[in-house]
A and B are shown apart, each in its own frame.
Chain A
Amino acid sequence: MLTTLSKGSTIPILTITAAIIVFWYACVVWLNAPFERDQAERANAEITFSQILSKTMEQKRPVLPAPHQVIVEIWNTTVMKNVTSKRSLVYHAWITLSSTLLGFAFGTLLGIALAVGIVHSQTLDKSLMPWIITSQTIPILAIAPMIIVVLNAVGIQGLLPKAFISMYLSFFPVAVGMVKGLRSPDIMQLDLMHTYNASKAQLFWKLRWPSSIPFLFTSLKVAIAASLVGAIVGELPTGAISGLGARLLAGSYYGQTIQIWSALFMAAFLAATLVWLVGVIDRRVLKQMGMAQ
């Protein structure tokens, strides 16, 4: 990010950001004004446009909160709160993050295991692949409650059911990417190993696995974002009291739009950070392996 900024794209980025903010404020006025006009009408009071303008920016439960309201809310619920407090957004983000990471780890392992099976066995290739693809055509919102209820019934609660949903979403890109990666060595490279009379295990560890690493990291960037979505979705049907999903749900119950938007921003920030982190590790590993020039 720093490098893109320093490469002379600062001005375009700032211009777009400014345009979005202006557009946002315009929408704030437009969406929140009817409420103010209503209020004025009920009180039989005259209201000027400039009054409407200022009032739309400080409603308690606006249809659309103004950017500064969201920023103040985020400030108040992060920096100004103890992180162990139930009112701290950092606390809720941490809850969601922990099931995201757990689900991501499960999903990565499952995805790799499936890919290894598929690459080594034609039977698995034929029998598993259709199921893997089908699994992703079912909307996660439809399965999430089922998973939670079933796991609850067998006594699994808390972090695990949510991580399970993250896994459900994140194993797919890893499996697909790794099948492609493990199959990426060309015929010449396979023939070369054949002339050495290499065993299947040697072929895997010395050729297939290292060849697949760039594919793995590309998939991991998709998978980590999917894991976060899974964790948030997993918090919705449980009636969870903590986590970003719970904040979203509670916010919508009580019409706390500012809370919803700050949870949204926190989720977006978390997603961006996680994807960025995977990217950093990606570059590190490839450099370590000698593949980045």
Chain B
Amino acid sequence: MIIRFTLNNEEKTVDVPATKRVIDLLREDFDLLRNKVSCYQGACGSCSILLDNCIVSSCSILAFELKGRTVVTAEGFMKTEEYQRINHIFQKNQYDPCDFCRWGKIFAIHEFIHSEEHIDSDSLTRALKGNQCNCSSPTLLLSVAEQIVKAEKKINTGRKHERTARK
């Protein structure tokens, strides 16, 4: 099946089996290897990507579903200023998750930043659910996520005010 979609800001066309899993498509056909794969069941979070700016498990999305849609992988997100700021707060807190859970956590935080959810530990815990990781501190993750979300929301509100003022 021929599929046209946007991948990390570039228009792409591929000819692949319609039911190929997107994680395999990204890794095998585009050599994008930063997103990992582990359970193939939508349960562990290692294959997380952004599809139309929403976090999804790319092992649970099939190639035909990409038609006309926008995908951002770890490689694409790393080029954004938002990622630089997130990474800075990770480093400041000496929080360095491994490559298997890193992107699930980062994309979950990204989605939370752009949601209307209240910032409290319940909703942050819910947002971060789905990243199986028993080897780093969940308390630290919550604290880091809260710092990031608060900082990003401030930036976004500032930008909104700026736009309104310019109008």
A, B in one complex: no
